[in-house]
């Protein structure tokens, strides 16, 4: 794949093979920077596996965040992505990526900038796919922003630290928390496969995991987002306590809140389903409104 000469579904194929990624990195002086969370994937087989998991097609555009030297970008193009908008903060990488864009006319647009300030709605009028080997220091923050725009997104195929991936897909127990509830409320979340530190250049300290999140047509159950945040924060803030105690930080009358939601006062946050949290959020929103002057 790093040869880039493989046929692609969208039809525009470079006339000569692309230079190996290692040569691109050397020529552009892309010494990895820790502050930018740079751990590059150079293995074309692995990049191809991630790209195929994203199921790119000719119909929808892809936002790739942090393309770096472009290993995953190449794989996405080879897998048939018709249009990729790639947002990269590191100017050194942007220069290398512009060369790649020139080899795939009309299919790859490079944006130099901060993904945290980038509006997903600017990629295309229709829903988009998001694919990224994320910089770990901002991965969760980016995901929370994208969840706020879930109606604009078809799917997200993202690499996180394994620990974050486990939290995203947990349905109970000690890894289950506000992030799990928020993500599963809005998306079907699936852990696809682990990637060992040795697959990256330089290797990170921890194992990584590719996760696929597909936004639901409707959230799993009705709830106001800020009320859901309130109840998960209070409940998981004291996760070992029974909810009748943990929810005291939210309301003077946790029994009324729990009774309204049909949840036993002795239950603990870790045993509640996402639908239970939505019921709590609805009751909490109604109580809040009733208390308003």
Residues that bind ligand SAM (CB under 6 A): 36-41, 65-68, 71-72, 87-90, 93, 114-116, 133, 135, 138
CB of 267 to ligand SAM, least distance (A): 39
Residues 6+ apart with CB under 8 A from 23: none
Q: Are strands 153-161 and 84-88 parallel, antiparallel or unpaired?
A: unpaired
Nearer to ligand SAM, 114 or 226 (CB): 114
Query: What distance in Å separates the CA atoms of residue 279 and residue 293, rounded to the nearest whole number?
Result: 24
What residues contact 252, with CB distance under 8 A and at least 6 apart?
none
Min separation Cβ 285 and ligand SAM, Å = 34
Tell me whether residue 114 or residue 194 sits nearer to ligand SAM (CB atom).
114
Q: Which is nearer to ligand SAM, 2 or 184 (CB)?
A: 2
The closest residue (CB) to ligand SAM is 66
SS3 88: strand
Q: Are 138 and 147 in contact (CB under 8 A)?
A: no
Q: Which is nearer to ligand SAM, 96 or 187 (CB)?
A: 96
Instruction: Tell me whether strands 128-133 and 62-65 are parallel, antiparallel or unpaired.
Output: parallel
- What is the smallest separation between the CB atom of 87 and ligand SAM, expressed in angstroms? 5
Contacts of 223 (CB under 8 A, 6+ apart): 185, 277, 278, 281, 282, 285
Q: Which two tokens stand for residue 246?
A: 């943990």
Instruction: Give the separation between CA 274 and CA 223, rounded to whole angstroms.
Output: 11
Return the bridge partners of 62, or none.
Answer: 84, 129
- Which one, 68 or 215, has the nearer CB to ligand SAM? 68
Q: How far is the CB of 233 from ligand SAM (least distance, A)?
A: 26
CB of 37 to ligand SAM, least distance (A): 5
Min CB(107)–ligand SAM separation in Å: 17
Q: Which is nearer to ligand SAM, 129 or 135 (CB)?
A: 135
């Amino acid at each position: 794949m790093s040869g880039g000469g493989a046929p692609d579904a969208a039809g525009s194929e470079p006339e000569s093979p692309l230079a190996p990624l290692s040569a691109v990195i050397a020529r552009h002086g892309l010494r990895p920077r820790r502050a930018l969370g740079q751990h590059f994937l150079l293995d074309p087989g692995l990049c191809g596996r991630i790209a195929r998991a994203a199921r790119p097609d000719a119909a929808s555009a892809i936002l790739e965040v942090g393309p770096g030297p472009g290993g995953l970008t190449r794989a996405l193009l080879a897998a048939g992505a018709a249009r990729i908008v790639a947002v990269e903060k590191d100017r050194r990488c942007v220069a290398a990526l512009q060369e790649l864009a020139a080899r795939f006319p009309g299919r790859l647009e490079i944006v130099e900038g901060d993904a945290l300030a980038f509006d997903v709605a600017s990629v295309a009028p229709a829903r988009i796919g998001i694919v990224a080997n994320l910089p770990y220091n901002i991965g969760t923050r980016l995901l929370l922003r994208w969840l706020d725009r879930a109606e604009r997104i078809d799917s997200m195929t993202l690499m996180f630290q394994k620990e974050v991936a486990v939290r995203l897909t947990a349905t109970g127990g000690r890894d289950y928390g506000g992030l799990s509830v928020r993500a599963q409320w809005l998306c079907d979340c699936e852990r696809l496969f682990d990637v060992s530190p040795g697959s990256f250049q330089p290797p990170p300290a921890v194992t990584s995991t590719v996760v696929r999140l597909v936004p639901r047509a409707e959230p799993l159950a009705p709830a106001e987002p800020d009320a859901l945040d309130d109840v998960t924060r209070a409940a998981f803030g004291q996760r070992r306590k029974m909810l009748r105690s943990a929810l005291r930080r939210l309301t003077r009358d946790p029994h009324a809140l729990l009774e309204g939601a049909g949840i036993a006062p002795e239950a603990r946050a870790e045993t509640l389903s996402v639908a239970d949290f939505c019921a709590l959020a609805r009751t909490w929103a109604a109580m809040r409104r009733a208390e308003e002057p």
